[in-house]
Amino acid sequence: MPKLASELSGQVNERLNQVGPSGIREFDLRISSVPDIIKLTLGEPDMNTPEHVKEAAIKSIQANDSHYSAQKGTIELRRAISGYLKKSQNLDYDPETEIIATVGATEAVTATFLSMLNPGDKVIIPTPAFALYFPLVTIAGAELIMVDTSKDGFILTPESLEAVLKKEGPAVKAVLLNYPGNPTGVEYPEETIEALADVIREHHMYVIADEIYCELTYGVDHFSIAKILPERTVLINGLSKSHAMTGWRMGYIAAPAEFTANATKMHASW
């Protein structure tokens, strides 16, 4: 087996070199062989992909629908995403210019961070949070501002956000809201989202809304911040959780056309 030339040792992207291996994946690998274990590691639904979805995929393969698609995804898929967002959240996104189909929500987050952030920018992330966010901010060369929400029911309050913004200054380019939250499962009430939107609007910043778990709510309806801040929101979602399609890698970005035009350049590299 080949061994890397000694003079090339350590010659990698310096920012990436600051990132360690995924702790979640390492732990999952370590305990997956335990007999009859109920794993609470990866966000894997306890059901299978619906039969009609599998049948449609089989028919597509048999019809040789396996060639390059449009860079943002097939227009049929983007129209379906647009229709779903209209039906489920009454959100209006143009499938031609405002939606990008991505390699899972993970790529949607990655493309968003790498097309939005510059060195010196700051990103606010309420914690506990999905561990992927942190290394992506590092790779983008931005600064991570973590806000502990454990004393507020695992919700970023408008007061906490305002306090952090006053402390960190205008270098804050975005706040990331993941709700229902991973790993807490907490959903944000509509009134909290409206109050957070008021703060965000005053500080001239993006909100990155990772709403991948929006279909998995119990006793409460999900309220997307894109309803009241469409001009500032980068909405991230996908089919992994709602349709038990984690391995299919089906995600998307919905955002104003000016942002998606830039994000498409990053998406093109995947």
Consecutive H or E run containing 237: strand 233-238
Q: How far apart are CA 70 and CA 132, in angstroms?
A: 28
Pair type for strands 233-238 and 206-210: parallel
Total domains in the chain come to 1
- SS3 at position 47: coil
Cβ-contact 244, 225 below 8 angstroms: no
Nearest to 175 by CA among 163, 191, 183, 186: 163
- Crossing angle of helices 190-202/158-168, nearest 10°? 20
Does 251 reside within a domain?
yes
Domain assignment of residue 206, given as a range = 51-267
- SS3 at position 209: strand
pTM for the full predicted model: 0.91
Does 58 reside within a domain?
yes
Q: What value does the CA radius of gyration of the chain take, rounded to a whole number of Å?
A: 19
Residue 172 pairs in a beta bridge with 122
Does 8 reside within a domain?
no
Q: How far apart are CA 227 and CA 229, in angstroms?
A: 6
Does 179 reside within a domain?
yes
Cβ-contact 177, 188 below 8 angstroms: yes
Residue 174 pairs in a beta bridge with 123, 206
Instruction: Read off the DSSP letter of residue 133.
Output: H
Does 84 reside within a domain?
yes
For residues 61, 64, 66, 70, the Cα torsion angle rounded to the nearest 10 degrees is -120
The enclosing domain of 147 has a CATH number of 3.40.640.10
Q: Which residue has the tokens 């995947």?
A: 270
Tokens of 240: 């992994």
Q: What's the one-letter identity of residue 24?
A: I
First to last CA, the chain: 28
Does 241 reside within a domain?
yes
pLDDT in tens, the chain (270 residues): 898 888 888 887 777 777 777 777 788 888 888 898 888 777 788 889 999 999 999 999 999 999 999 999 999 999 999 999 999 999 999 999 999 999 999 999 999 999 999 999 999 999 999 999 999 999 999 999 999 999 999 999 999 999 999 999 999 999 999 999 999 999 999 999 999 999 999 998 999 999 999 999 999 999 999 999 999 999 999 999 999 999 999 999 999 999 999 999 998 877
Does 41 reside within a domain?
no
Does 128 reside within a domain?
yes
